[in-house]
């Protein structure tokens, strides 16, 4: 199946699913709140640069430019930014002292060895600046087993703009957990990627129906630039 045929098949599925969701009251809007944070998930070299098992598609032409726009707006307006990355100390699948549960039984954990900082360092094109937290996680969700929720609440955050990779795993689970933790969740369409054809389109469609508002980068940038002046 070609990418064009896949896109057509997905659109047909979306059209039918939209009818079902609308009839049953799904796809309601969360909306933006008064205090945002940008949560960038796994936009580190192992995912953004060529030659790694975790390398994703659409990074150079879509995700990085979108992230640069979002970061510029956050930095200009003093919004909270969290860069999330992933790496493991124990990369031997047979070692019972794993620091990732049993996820290493499914994925090539050795590709993000904690010893090689370059692998899990945030991509230099969107490098963190002073005041932006770089958080190391061990599980798919950025909230699972981390202090992220407490960090955001202490900062007064009520809205999270989630970006990064992958749509099928770490981004999706972060969005789901973010909503369950009580944050308004926004998925930034152009700033989310994956390595599997069709995965982004399907997951964003389904996320928009059940777990977050999927919004364009331009809409999110406008929000970041105006929320401080428009909030009552």
**Which residues, other chains included, contact 121 with Cβ-Cβ below 8 Å and sequence gap of 6+?**
44, 45, 85
Asked whether the beta carbons of 10 and 2 are under 8 A apart, the reply is no
Q: For position 231, what pLDDT does the model report?
A: 43
Is residue 104 in some structural domain?
yes
Is residue 7 in some structural domain?
no
H/E element, 11: helix 3-24
Q: What is the total count of domains within the chain?
A: 1
The domain of 131 spans 35-230
Is residue 20 in some structural domain?
no
Q: For position 161, what pLDDT does the model report?
A: 99
Q: For position 15, what pLDDT does the model report?
A: 74
**Which residues, other chains included, contact 111 with Cβ-Cβ below 8 Å and sequence gap of 6+?**
46, 52, 53, 54, 119
Q: What is the mean pLDDT of the chain?
A: 93
Is residue 21 in some structural domain?
no
Any idea what the CATH number is for the domain that residue 160 is in?
3.40.50.850
Query: What is the per-residue pLDDT across 130-166, written as a single tens digit (0 to 9) for each?
Result: 999 999 999 999 999 999 999 999 999 999 999 999 9
Give residue for tokens 């100390």. 89
Q: Which residues of the chain have pLDDT under 50?
A: 231-232
Q: For position 19, what pLDDT does the model report?
A: 81
H/E element, 179: helix 170-180
- Alpha-carbon distance values, 18 to 9, 12, 25, 118, 210 (Å): 14, 10, 10, 42, 12
Structure tokens at 182: 């009580």
Q: For position 2, what pLDDT does the model report?
A: 66
Show which residues are catalytic: 170
Asked whether the beta carbons of 212 and 30 are under 8 A apart, the reply is yes
Is residue 13 in some structural domain?
no
């Amino acid at each position: 199946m070609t990418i064009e045929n896949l896109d057509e098949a997905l659109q047909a599925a979306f059209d039918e699913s939209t009818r079902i969701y609308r009839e049953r009251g799904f796809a309601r809007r969360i909306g933006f709140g008064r205090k945002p944070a940008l949560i960038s998930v796994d936009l580190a070299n192992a995912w953004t640069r060529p030659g790694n098992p975790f390398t994703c598609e659409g990074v150079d032409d879509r995700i990085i430019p979108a992230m640069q726009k979002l970061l510029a707006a956050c930095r200009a307006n003093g919004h909270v930014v969290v860069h999330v990355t992933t790496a493991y100390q124990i990369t031997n699948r047979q070692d019972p002292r794993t620091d990732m549960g049993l996820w290493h039984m499914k994925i090539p954990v050795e590709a993000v060895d904690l010893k090689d900082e370059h692998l899990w360092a945030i991509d230099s094109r969107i490098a963190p600046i002073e005041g932006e937290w770089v958080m190391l996680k061990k599980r798919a969700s950025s909230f699972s087993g981390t202090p992220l929720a407490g960090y955001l609440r202490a900062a007064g955050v009520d809205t999270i703009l989630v970006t990064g990779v992958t749509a099928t795993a770490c981004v999706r689970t972060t969005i789901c957990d973010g909503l369950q933790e009580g944050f308004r969740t926004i998925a930034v369409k152009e700033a989310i990627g994956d390595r599997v054809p069709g995965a982004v389109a399907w997951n964003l469609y389904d996320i928009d129906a059940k777990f977050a508002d999927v919004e364009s980068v331009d809409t999110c940038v406008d929000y970041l630039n105006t929320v401080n002046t428009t909030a009552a």
